[in-house]
Amino acid sequence: MLEIVDVDARDEGALREWYDVWRAGQPHRPPEIMPSWESARVPLATPREDYDVGLIGVREAGRLVGAGLLNLPMADNPTVAYSEVVTHADHRRRGVGTALVTELERRARAAGRERLLGEVFVPAGQETGTTGDMRFAEARGYAVANREGMKALRLAEAEHLWPALEAEVDEALGDYRVVTWRDVCPPEHLESFAAALSTVMGLIPQGELDLDDRAWTAEGIRTYEQHRLEVGLVTIETAAVEPDGTVVGLTGVRTHAADPRVARIGVTMVLPEHRGHRLGLATKLASHRALRAQVPGCELVVTSNAEVNTHMNVINERMGYQQLETLVEYHKRL
């Protein structure tokens, strides 16, 4: 008999049990890019104002065998919910995943959400095939909305590639400048940084995801910065700015102080009217240099980009990124 249970993220024992099942249900994923317990524990247990995150599990004979997550954005996209469904590798094909999906869909409907999004990770070399996880999603009415390449760069091994790229940046930069800060945006850039962030979803290829931009304000940025500090995140933001200091491009990267070995790129973007000056490459290179200098324990940087985003994929490859898996994003209208 399968039993759906709520998981109290404030109970460290319950959270660890959930996390262990979540990890054990994804043996096909590269272990080096999976969030460690040390980096996931506090963020999962700390509420946010802009997202309502709930954890659920499936028990069989008292043992947790499935891990689910429902994320309701509260500051944008009010008709959408994000989900994760993971079954312990030793308990598949027993209805655990179906029970999780059914419950997550029920809760999303009850919260007034009209569409549920989920992710499937496909190992390298299987990009053109259909995996069991993909068949599972499609059998339950989910359709492919977007595909992204999950890539990673080993800082020590790739650093030798960067001087030639930095020379390209120097030739193309013109009157633009690149500025980098850690954790807290300087006051002189705050308003334009918020304005730039408010355009991100409309500028990146997102296939059929159809997600709206979030309207960031200076106050919202400060609240988010405080949350990141509270949960132990180390954030390095790099911006391309006009001579007057207006932010026109950016790259954000973050890691966790408790386990800084892996950093993750949040977003890289350049406003359309400022493209053609290598600003995306400039901010990405500067962010990686800052990681090397300020977070010496960081070894790996992970990013993802839509397969159709040819320009950014070329930048990543030239910097030393290598693809490890494919992220297939699914959605279903409830």
Reading the chain (334 residues) residue by residue, the pLDDT tens digits are 999 999 999 999 999 999 999 999 999 999 999 999 999 999 999 999 999 999 999 999 999 999 999 999 999 999 999 999 999 999 999 999 999 999 999 999 999 999 999 999 999 888 767 899 999 999 999 999 999 999 999 999 999 999 999 999 999 999 999 999 999 999 999 999 999 999 999 999 999 999 999 999 999 999 999 999 999 999 999 999 999 999 999 999 999 999 999 999 999 999 999 999 999 999 999 999 999 999 999 999 999 999 999 999 999 999 999 999 999 999 999 9
Question: Contact, 236 vs 184, CB < 8 A?
Answer: no
What was the pLDDT predicted at 172?
Answer: 97
104 is written with which tokens?
A: 């997550």
What was the pLDDT predicted at 125?
Answer: 80
**CA 39 centroid distance within chain:** 14
Question: Contact, 33 vs 150, CB < 8 A?
Answer: yes
Amino acid letter at 299?
Answer: E
* Contacts (Cβ under 8 Å, ≥6 apart) of 267: 200, 204, 250, 251, 252
